[in-house]
Amino acid sequence: SQTIHQWPATLVQPVGSPLSLECTVEGTSNPNLYWYRQAAGRGLQLLFYSVGIGQISSEVPQNLSASRPQDRQFILSSKKLLLSDSGFYLCAWAATGGFYGYTFGSGTRLTVV
């Protein structure tokens, strides 16, 4: 069966510090991968998606970047965090051989102080 792992679960970082959030998927090959952000009490904002290694599409201009160094690994990064980067970050994957929606990870709660 397929599983998605996201870490860390919570993170408190000072303004101006770097960020690296990691997401890995097991049990499938060549998944589509997605990073979403959810502000407190708000909806889901798509940040990045990837259809293959090294292929990243950005949906919203911002202080963040994403990379996909391996087929089932998706990394969200920032060189210098802003207060506005605080939120709940969710990674998700979708199969490419027939679309059945996304499977989300458990999320990372990021607080920038």
Contact flag: residue 54 with another protein (CB under 8 A): no
Q: What is the strand order of the sheet 73-78 is part of?
A: 3-7, 19-26, 73-78, 65-70
Cβ at position 79, least distance to another protein in Å = 26
Contact flag: residue 44 with another protein (CB under 8 A): yes
Contact flag: residue 103 with another protein (CB under 8 A): yes
Six token digits for residue 71: 């087929």
Which span sits near another protein by CB under 8 A: 12-20, 62-70, 74-82, 103-111?
A: 103-111
86: three-class secondary structure by DSSP: coil
Contact flag: residue 40 with another protein (CB under 8 A): no
